[in-house]
């Protein structure tokens, strides 16, 4: 060690990382669509490992008390990593028009047939939603990128599970309307 005392939350964060790694990997698998993410570096394990590294690097600075706080942070890290990776990859393609990673829309709308959505368009929609309704955006990010339950989200946000459910219902509709107006969904 370098002589610095370990932050009191470090052990707790380490335990959450180990305990939740399989769940985060499952979520990353559901986000990534193998047919649209043809990058050898963008696989569920790579996504979760990158999130793990970022969380480990920052754990001594983090003030995380609950599993819900940890999952909310993991959702943000996963979203940022995926969007950054895709932006870099598309910028390297001719004119930035390379294949993009897509996200399954079944978490966003109750479609009979699964739809896929460009993750960068989704990120843009979430950014717009955040400017209008920040809490709704947080709920959407935690649902889509961490698969968090209403109970975990309500603990994190300090609101009732019913409020989370209502926020999610609104956010899904808002995102679906934005995406359909943008015409960026693919069958």
Distance set, CA 90 to CA 30, 87, 102, 121 (Å): 21, 5, 13, 13
Q: pTM for the complete prediction? A: 0.74
Query: 159: burial class by Cβ within 10 Å (0-12, 13-18, 19+)?
Result: middle
- 145: its two tokens: 């990128």
pLDDT tens digits along 91-111: 666 555 555 565 555 555 554
Whether the pLDDT of residue 186 is over 50: the answer is: no
Tell me, what's the pLDDT at 127?
Answer: 94
Q: Are 114 and 106 in contact (CB under 8 A)?
A: yes
Tell me, what's the pLDDT at 162?
Answer: 97
Tell me, what's the pLDDT at 120?
Answer: 84
Q: What percent of the chain has pLDDT over 70?
A: 68
Query: 117: burial class by Cβ within 10 Å (0-12, 13-18, 19+)?
Result: buried
Tell me, what's the pLDDT at 102?
Answer: 56
Q: Are 102 and 39 in contact (CB under 8 A)?
A: no
What is the average pLDDT score of the chain? 76
Confidence of residue 34 (pLDDT cuts 50, 70, 90): very low
From first CA to last CA, the distance across the chain in angstroms is 53
Tell me, what's the pLDDT at 39?
Answer: 60
pLDDT tens digits along 53-95: 887 776 656 677 788 888 888 888 888 888 888 787 776 665 5
Confidence of residue 129 (pLDDT cuts 50, 70, 90): very high
Whether the pLDDT of residue 138 is over 80: the answer is: yes
100 contact partners, CB below 8 Å, separation of at least 6: 36, 86, 90, 118, 119, 120
Tell me, what's the pLDDT at 8?
Answer: 59
C-beta atoms surrounding 52 within 10 Å: 17
- Looking at per-residue pLDDT, the higher value among 89 and 128 belongs to 128
Distance CA 36, CA 19 (A): 29
């Amino acid at each position: 060690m370098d002589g610095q005392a370990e932050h009191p939350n470090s052990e707790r964060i380490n335990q959450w990382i180990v305990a939740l790694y399989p769940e985060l990997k499952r979520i990353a698998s559901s986000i990534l669509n193998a047919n649209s993410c043809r990058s050898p570096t963008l696989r569920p394990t790579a996504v979760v490992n990158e999130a793990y590294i970022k969380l480990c690097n920052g754990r001594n600075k983090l003030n995380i008390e609950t599993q819900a706080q940890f999952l909310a942070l993991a959702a943000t890290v996963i979203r940022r990593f995926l969007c950054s990776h895709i932006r870099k990859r598309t910028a390297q393609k001719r004119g930035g028009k390379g294949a993009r990673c897509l996200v399954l829309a079944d978490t966003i709308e109750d479609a009979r047939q699964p739809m896929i959505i460009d993750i960068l368009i989704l990120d843009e929609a979430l950014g717009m939603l955040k400017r209008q309704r920040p809490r709704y955006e947080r709920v959407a990010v935690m649902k889509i990128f961490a698969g968090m339950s209403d109970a975990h989200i309500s603990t994190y946000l300090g609101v009732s599970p019913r409020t989370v459910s209502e926020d999610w219902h609104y956010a899904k509709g808002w995102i679906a309307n934005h995406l359909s107006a943008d015409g960026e969904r693919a069958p």
